[in-house]
Structure 1
Amino acid sequence: MPSQARLGLTETQFLIQEQGEVQVWLKSSQKEDQCLCDAAELVVRGQGYGTDDEAAREGERWRDVISRAFARIHLAADFADRKPSGILTTAGEAWMGELFGHPVRGAVPGVTVFEDQQDLRFVSVPAAEGCRRPSEDWNRRVLTQAAQLHDPLAAPERLAFDLYSGSFFQVSADSRLLMLTMAIETLLDPQPRSNVAQAHVNAMIEATETNPDLTPAERSSLRGSLQWLQDESIGQAGRRLARTLEPRKYDGRPPAAFFTRCYEMRSALTHGHVPRPDHREVGLLAASLELFVADLLAGRLLVELPD
């Protein structure tokens, strides 16, 4: 649950459905006796299913039920399947089961199907976290050189730096990649297309204006869209900006090709691509995109103090 919201139920468990042997209930995943209104982490438990496949299908269905219900009461939930997480191996489960004296399963994001066992416990393994510290000498050199250059940020660069910095506070790789591509977009300066291309666009605008079969609303909408075509696309402007970082490479790609791949991923995330992009690839791209945006914002320091 988000830090600013909780479920408004005072019991420790809420039975959502009971049909024959099948029961589905909502409970805290942290403490057995914790009230739902105090729980930051919840779990939907279901039992009474005959097969793994049936349980898996029902698990996905109940995820959707909870999502619909939470939307109606203006709550949110992070199902954590786009977050980094640790993994408890089968051997680790057996070792911990012997250590604690009861069966243990590794808690993984999403729907988990398991055979019901008495005193079964779920154990979550946090993802490893690191802290990067540039060397003391590098810090001193960069800060001293930046003071000497005194190269102020333009307004778009200042906004881009805010977005770049904000990405470091996002837990999911999806959010980081989206904020970083937004930072790049603020730095773009689309240039006019060639005279031939502009003349072609103007001809389409004129044809739209003189078409008697179009309604005024359609004519206005099409005219606005066509006028955008007078300038180069976001992709073209982004690749042109990216080439200023050559001959560096990001994720093994030349800058322009790397930008294209990131922007394709951004489109897949924002336009409802199904299935959703693999979160591991998103994470790898986001990590390299941090360096890419930082290099764009470094200005003359990137030349004065090369890697």
Structure 2
Amino acid sequence: MYCFRLPFAMPSQTQLGLHENQFLLGSEGERQVWLKPFGDADQRLCDATNFVIRGEGYATQDDAARDGERWRDVITRAFARVHLAADFGDRQPVNLLTKAGEEWLSRLMGHPVSAHLAGVTVFEDQPDLRFVAAPSLEGRKRPSEERNRLVFMQAARRHDPLDSSERLAFDLYSGSFFQPSADSRLLMLTMAIETLLVREPRSDVARAHVTAIMEATKANPDLTHSERNSLRGSLKELLDESIGQAGKRLARTLEPRTYAGQAPDAFFSRCYTMRSELTHGNVPRPNRRDVDALAASLELFVADLLAGRLLTEIPD
């Protein structure tokens, strides 16, 4: 017989209002699907933040896999209805325990061991099978003491004030460091750039063309009042340059630096395209590793925009 398991996590500030240590979600013949805490079998569900949906009694691997995906949708709908959130780990870094590691741990612990992975995992029903996660490895950023002293002293001498948009941009930049996923980091960092943008007027010829279209829209008797207002509001945005144009112009102030091997304006365009793919529902979503790598370079990009004169006065 085959089983499936689907782990997920809840935010620490929320609780699942179930006081038992496991909850039977569904039962049909030999098949049973349970909601359990991950790790501590005696922990009450209301005290846990890490969970696993476990299905048992499937005749084939395909049956188990299909039902695992179905139960993910069930939990998603239910959580949305009671205003709870669940992270199924799709966009989290992968902590992969190798097959050799599984075999070594199985011998060491005296029972079968398998890797704890995100998403639906199908496996043969084995007595006393345990799932373990590889330890999470996190890097720590720490500039040298000499460099810190130099930067702080120069910043104090300069006392270069930030305007309100720069302060907001720094809040968003800093907030990105506290986000658990690459997607949310990249989105917050592109938001930080947007707060710094000043959109310049288009050329006189372009503005005259847009204005003529606006006037034609206003005079069109076949359009309703709300349609005319809506269209003219959208057209008004075309009087100024696009966010992409303003972003590339701002990015060029960082030349001749490069980011991820690209000139600043090309790098900004790449990031903004990725942002659009994430926010406009592109399916499939961008590869998590690609987003993660881009977000890491974007952190440097935004920091350099906010460094002011220190960027050129203090060498890398």
Taking structure 2 as the reference length, the TM-score comes to 0.95
- The equivalent of 1:273 in structure 2 is 282
- The equivalent of 1:44 in structure 2 is 53
One of 138, 144, 153 as aligned partner of 2:153: 144
Residue 49 of structure 2 aligns to a residue whose secondary structure is: coil
Contact map agreement 1:79 1:110 (CA 8 A) in 2: yes
Compute the displacement of 1:10 (Å).
Answer: 1.2
| 1:72-117 superposed Cα distances (whole Å, 9 cap, x missing partner) | 0111111122111311000000000000010000101111111111
One of 287, 292, 309 as aligned partner of 1:300: 309
> 2: distance between equivalents of 1:173 and 1:100?
35
> 2: distance between equivalents of 1:238 and 1:51?
53
Which deviates more from structure 2 when the two are superposed, residues 44-53 or residues 24-33?
A: 44-53
| 1:161-195 superposed Cα distances (whole Å, 9 cap, x missing partner) | 11111111111111111110000000000000011
2:81 matched to 1:68? no
Q: Which runs of 5+ in 2 are unaligned?
A: 1-9
> 1: distance between equivalents of 2:273 and 2:217?
31
2:99 matched to 1:98? no
2:183 matched to 1:174? yes
- The equivalent of 1:212 in structure 2 is 221
> 2: distance between equivalents of 1:53 and 1:278?
25
- The equivalent of 2:119 in structure 1 is 110
Contact map agreement 1:85 1:127 (CA 8 A) in 2: no
- The CA RMSD over aligned residues, in Å, is 0.9
2:139 matched to 1:130? yes
| 1:37-80 superposed Cα distances (whole Å, 9 cap, x missing partner) | 11111110011222222222221111111000000011111112
Contact map agreement 1:235 1:260 (CA 8 A) in 2: yes
Letter aligned with residue 4 of structure 1:
Q
Number of residues of Structure 1 aligned to a counterpart in Structure 2:
307
Residue 26 of structure 2 aligns to a residue whose secondary structure is: strand
> 1: distance between equivalents of 2:135 and 2:85?
22
Residue 148 of structure 2 aligns to a residue whose secondary structure is: helix
> 2: distance between equivalents of 1:203 and 1:125?
63
Compute the displacement of 1:160 (Å).
Answer: 0.4
- The equivalent of 1:233 in structure 2 is 242
- The equivalent of 1:23 in structure 2 is 32
Residue 103 of structure 2 aligns to a residue whose secondary structure is: helix
2:292 matched to 1:283? yes
| 1:204-225 superposed Cα distances (whole Å, 9 cap, x missing partner) | 1011101111111111111110
Letter aligned with residue 37 of structure 2:
S
Contact map agreement 1:82 1:173 (CA 8 A) in 2: yes
> 2: distance between equivalents of 1:209 and 1:85?
55
> 1: distance between equivalents of 2:82 and 2:191?
30
- Greater per-residue strand proportion: 2
Contact map agreement 1:105 1:122 (CA 8 A) in 2: yes
Contact map agreement 1:102 1:120 (CA 8 A) in 2: yes
Which deviates more from structure 2 when the two are superposed, residues 38-47 or residues 55-64?
A: 55-64
2:77 matched to 1:84? no
Taking structure 1 as the reference length, the TM-score comes to 0.98
| 1:100-156 superposed Cα distances (whole Å, 9 cap, x missing partner) | 010000101111111111000000113311111111111111111111111100110
> 2: distance between equivalents of 1:248 and 1:237?
18
> 2: distance between equivalents of 1:207 and 1:55?
60
Compute the displacement of 1:235 (Å).
Answer: 0.5
Letter aligned with residue 69 of structure 2:
E
Residue 48 of structure 1 aligns to a residue whose secondary structure is: strand
Contact map agreement 1:84 1:127 (CA 8 A) in 2: no
Contact map agreement 1:107 1:124 (CA 8 A) in 2: yes
